[in-house]
């Protein structure tokens, strides 16, 4: 097996629950089913205060921007709260710095707006939630929307469509980094109809 990867999932007030909970489940269960050897999955927020996700789910971030371990795979949640975060210099600077060192950086749903705000989608194909394409087209006129895809890979960056697409891209990452058999084992355990 390859080295265990640190997976940091960015959360914030009004993050979409399945955007972070879906990838968290796929990657942490994959590790659990393989002697906890593959992924160390944790949440990160600007500070350690509880965040109030969409519809009021209260979540305690494991780390904040200052004390997070090094991140091999960065997952950026979407949700209505992204609209505040694209104006938050602390968040933008943190993503920019972490992205430079990641093996993969992955946005879920409207989390792609944060990549757009950093100029990372310029001239690149991308996916996002179907209701967010107009916003990103305005932010990044040179970007190339992929409205018929669940997720798109460019270099070491993935953008995925709305909400449940985060589960699909997470299975894809497991298959890419390890093998299809490991991803299928997780899908069977989760009773998820994963098509790769």
CATH code assigned at 43: 3.40.50.880
- What's the number of domains the chain is made of? 1
Q: What is the pLDDT of residues 131-167, one digit of tens each?
A: 999 999 999 999 999 999 999 999 899 999 988 999 9
- How high is the pLDDT of residue 35? 95
Residue 195 lies in a domain: no
Rounded CA Rg of the chain: 15
- How high is the pLDDT of residue 163? 85
Dist. CA 6–CA 18, nearest whole Å: 20
- How high is the pLDDT of residue 195? 77
Residue 26 lies in a domain: yes
Q: What residues are paired with 51 via a beta bridge?
A: 59
10-residue mean pLDDT series, the chain (196 residues): 86 97 97 96 98 97 97 97 97 98 97 98 97 96 96 96 93 94 95 85
Nearest to 63 by CA among 83, 41, 78, 80: 41
Under 8 Å between Cβ of 79 and 57: no
Quote the domain boundaries for residue 75.
5-190
Residue 196 lies in a domain: no
- How high is the pLDDT of residue 194? 84
Sign, CA dihedral 150-152-158-162, equals: negative
- Residue 51: strand, helix, or coil: strand
């Amino acid at each position: 097996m390859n080295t265990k990867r640190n997976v940091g999932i960015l959360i914030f007030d009004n993050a979409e629950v399945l955007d972070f909970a879906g990838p968290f489940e796929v990657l942490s269960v994959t590790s659990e089913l393989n002697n906890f050897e593959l992924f160390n999955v944790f949440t990160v927020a600007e500070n350690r205060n509880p965040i109030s996700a969409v519809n009021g789910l209260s979540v305690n971030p494991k780390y904040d921007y200052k004390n997070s371990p090094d991140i091999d795979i960065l997952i950026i949640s979407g949700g209505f709260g992204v609209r505040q975060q694209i104006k938050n210099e602390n968040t933008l600077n943190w993503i920019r710095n972490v992205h430079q060192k990641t093996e993969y950086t992955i946005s879920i749903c409207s989390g792609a707006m944060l990549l757009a705000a950093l100029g990372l989608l310029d001239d690149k194909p991308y996916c996002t939630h179907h209701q967010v394409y107009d916003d990103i087209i305005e932010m990044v006129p040179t970007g190339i929307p992929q409205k018929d895809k669940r997720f798109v890979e460019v270099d070491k960056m993935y953008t995925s469509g709305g909400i449940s697409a985060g589960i699909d891209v997470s299975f894809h990452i497991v298959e890419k980094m390890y093998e299809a058999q490991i991803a299928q084992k997780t899908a069977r355990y989760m009773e998820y109809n994963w098509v790769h």
